[in-house]
A and B are shown apart, each in its own frame.
Chain A
Amino acid sequence: MLHRSIKAWCGLLLLWGLTSSAYAQSNFTLDDVPALKNKKPIHLILETGDGHSKALPIIEAFTKKTGVPVNVERVASSGVYGKENVELMAGTGHYDVVYVETSWTTEWSDLLYKLKDLANKFDPGKSAALEKEMANMSPSILATGQAYGNQMVLPFYTFDMTMWVRQDVFDDPTEKANFKTKYGYELAAAKTWEQLHDQAAFFTRKKGEMLKGQPLDHDLFGLSMQAGAYQDNDETTARLWPTGNDWVTVVKDGTGKITKFVITKADKEALKTVLAEYKNDLQWDSPGALTANFDFVVAQIGNGNAIIAPTIWANCTVWADGILKEKVPGGKIGVYPTPGGQPYTGAWSYGVAKSTKNPEAAYWLVRYLTSYEAGLRMFKEAGLIPGRIDVMETVSKNEPVYPLGMLAKYHIDIWKATGKYIPNHYYYNTKAGGKVYDNQIYVLAPALTGEKTVEQVVEDLTKQTIDLQNKFDKTAPCVEEK
């Protein structure tokens, strides 16, 4: 009896040991980093901003553990491409760990190590350990960090788009009743652009009119968008993808190799439609939207000046919510998929430059910056959303508190929904991504401000995209369907 009992206890202990070690393995920590012989310093870019500063202790912990100094250069996101591109192209090795925005991954793929190769070289668990770690990450976000099927970078934080609504206003019985009376259906987060237009018109109000039974002390706008020459293309993407079209259609053969880039007639027509619609939507937005970036949208929603932000980065939610709590007592933000259900997505990621003098330390720093531990910390302390399902599940289960719990659930759902279509999109298959992306910003803006007609802008964009694509990506020709 005693013998059997001891056996049972031993079995239980073994089972506990096995499960706990499996858990530890899936949650990679600094203890998993082997002793590094190469102590040459690592240089990397960290974005400016208070939120990103929360990564500094993470980097310091890496240095403490490995003995490898890390030089951190703080650069605003808009300056990252220019700085890194020069160093990478010249092969200076200035940046060991490279900060990569989604649309540049393929463009820089010849200048970055494939992470699998580095894992095989430096990771005791070889590439299997890396794959195990990646199994905890969002497949759609991982896909945005691939080039020709190879994982080049791992996501540090994601920029999935979302739609914000003022949840407290949407839940208000008076507003709900008035909306239903006027439009004949329930007030709920818009699933289509038509519904959005109804809501935008409904909530655009003048000072003195009522909101939630109280008179407004300022003008109220139904929408808030970022139509300035900053990231108007991302908002347009969130409108374009749900039409089933893209900026450029990527044509692949049976083996998955890209044979052609084509701007189809349907792509052009879809772009004309969504740009016209976007321009039309500006009637329910503040005139300031024409020179606005995302910070303007955050301020508009946070200050209670607008009710819906149809296309905004989910990672700004905590920031906007912080302002809203202060400025509008009882104010609450709800996050939903953008109308049409295919929000723009991607991530700011880290990869390893081929010109680095310390690829081993660079590899482990990338692994640590994108780990569960770092991701959870960045999410909870800075509101930046890592591309990790395990972090989202932990927060969703253990801390389903507004707004982090809400954001975690949103991301789990949206990653499932977007996983299928992401790998085929143009941005994630072109070597001219950085150039075409930035050019779009400037070419699109005149359509929204009315400086040019939508037709003119689409023609300009078509011509310039073909020029840039053919100039900077020689893998396959880019043509216009006539």
Chain B
Amino acid sequence: MLSNSPPLSGLAGEAARKPTIWETLTSERYFRWTLLIPLLVLLAVFMLYPLIYSIYFSFHDWGMQGDPIFSGLHNYRQLVFDQNFLLAFWRTLEVTLICIVVELGLGLGLALLWNRDFKGQNVVRGLALLPLLVAPLILSLLWNFILDFNFGALNHILSALGLGRVNVWRPSIALYTICFMTIWQWLPFSTFVLLAGLKSLPRDVFEAARVDGASRWYTFRRLTLPLLSPLIMIIVVLRSMWLIRLFDPLFGTTRGGVNTELLDWITYRTSFVMFDIGYGSAMAILSWAVTMALCMVMFRQLMKQMAPKT
């Protein structure tokens, strides 16, 4: 026994030994920072630095030549009175609202439908995922071919059926066509998130409701929806962030014409077509602030939903 015990002097020596870098990094105290720091560095370089730089430029006049000239709040004052920017802002909110409502409604419907077992379910679900796998820019070019008034597949089919051609790009409805293209691509996202949610719901609660004689509608309203609400909030938060910076569907189709200019498009053309970097930065900062404010409100709501109920 004794012979196996380390000598006292040895124990003292081990206690005094400095831990290696690896031991420090993987210690309970620092491990979380070890994992976080690379991400924080990346975020600082690729997100924080450009953000601070954009804020700096938003208070300056700069066309990429010479030194930026300090202009104070001029760019922001100009924004407030810029009819094109305000229009783009309202259009973006409209698109965000329409897309989220439709995607959630249809997504929930499809998720409920696909929650049951049916023949060929794997094929249907696999095919339904396809729109998400295509680059949004490519899709916008494809839709442009499909929806073109003279040469598009849609009008060829309508003509063949003896129906009149439709102009989906007329200014009064072009924005809704953009919404349609976006919903078509992103519907599988909400569908599959909600389907996953439905699959993981506890069966005993529903059994109990059935035994108690609760109707289907009552069960859906009082059980299914509340249990899915954290997932619904996640969809709303993520889709809001993505929709506020909607860009690709415009690139291949209207390029911001026919009443479809959105926030990201006007920011893009101001910053990278006209290279009015100061004004473009002010636009970007304002839309970033709006996105942050919206998402913070929704995120707080999400946290509330996900908090354990007492």
Contacts and interface: CB of A to CB of B under 8 A. Distances in A.
A85 B261 CA distance: 24
Nearest to B266: A442
B143 to A, nearest CB: 12
B254 A228 contact: yes
A471 B61 CA distance: 8
B94 interface: no
B167 interface: yes
Interface stretch (B38-46, B226-234, B273-281): B273-281
Nearest to B62: A471
A161 B148 CA distance: 25
A446 B257 CA distance: 7
A442 B256 contact: yes
Contacts of A90: 64
Given A288-B149, A451-B171, A81 B254 contact: no
Given A286-B150, A288-B167, A449-B171, A81 B273 contact: yes
Interface residues of A, number: 34
A287 B149 CA distance: 7
Given A287-B149, A299-B151, A300-B150, A89 B65 contact: yes
Contacts of B170: 287, 290, 449
Contact of B253 (A291, A449, A451): A291
Nearest to A305: B150
A288 B150 contact: yes
Contacts of A435: 63, 274-276
A288 B257 CA distance: 13
A229 B150 contact: no
A86 interface: yes
A254 interface: no
A230 B254 CA distance: 9
Interface in B236-276: 253-259, 261, 269, 272-276
Contact of A288 (B84, B148, B255): B148
Nearest to A472: B63
B169 interface: yes
Contacts of A434: 274-275
Contacts of A305: 150
Nearest to A224: B150
Nearest to B87: A451
A85 B61 CA distance: 17
A278 to B, nearest CB: 15
Interface centre among A110, A449, A468 (most CB of B within 10 A): A449
A438 interface: yes
Interface in B106-124: none
A444 to B, nearest CB: 10
A445 B174 CA distance: 14
B257 A445 contact: yes
Contacts of A81: 273
Interface residues of B, number: 29
Do most interface residues of chain B lie in helix, strand or loop, or is the interface mixed?
A: loop
A7 to B, nearest CB: 66
B171 A229 contact: no
A445 B169 CA distance: 13
Contacts of B276: 435, 468, 471
A89 to B, nearest CB: 4
Nearest to A444: B257
A300 B149 CA distance: 11
B68 to A, nearest CB: 12
B202 to A, nearest CB: 51
A249 interface: no
A90 B65 CA distance: 8
A439 B274 contact: yes
Contacts of B269: 438, 442
A14 B302 CA distance: 93
A450 interface: yes
Nearest to B150: A288
B229 to A, nearest CB: 40
A26 to B, nearest CB: 39
Contacts of A287: 149, 167, 169-170
Contacts of B174: 291
B257 A228 contact: yes
Given A228-B254, A229-B256, A287-B167, A82 B151 contact: no
Contacts of B274: 434-435, 438-439, 468
A85 B63 CA distance: 10
A230 B258 contact: no
A231 B172 CA distance: 22
Contact of A449 (B61, B255, B259): B259
Nearest to A110: B65
Contacts of B148: 288
Nearest to B64: A89
A20 B274 CA distance: 50
18 contacts: A110-B65, A229-B254, A229-B255, A286-B149, A287-B170, A288-B169, A290-B171, A290-B257, A291-B169, A291-B257, A291-B258, A299-B151, A300-B150, A438-B273, A446-B257, A449-B259, A460-B83, A472-B63
Interface of A: 81-82, 85-86, 89-90, 110, 228-230, 286-288, 290-291, 296, 299-300, 303, 305, 434-435, 438-439, 442, 445-446, 449-451, 460, 468, 471-472
Interface of B: 61, 63-65, 83-84, 148-151, 167, 169-171, 174, 253-259, 261, 269, 272-276
When A and B form their complex, which 3 residue pairs have the shortest distance between CB atoms, in order from nearest? A288-B149, A229-B257, A89-B64
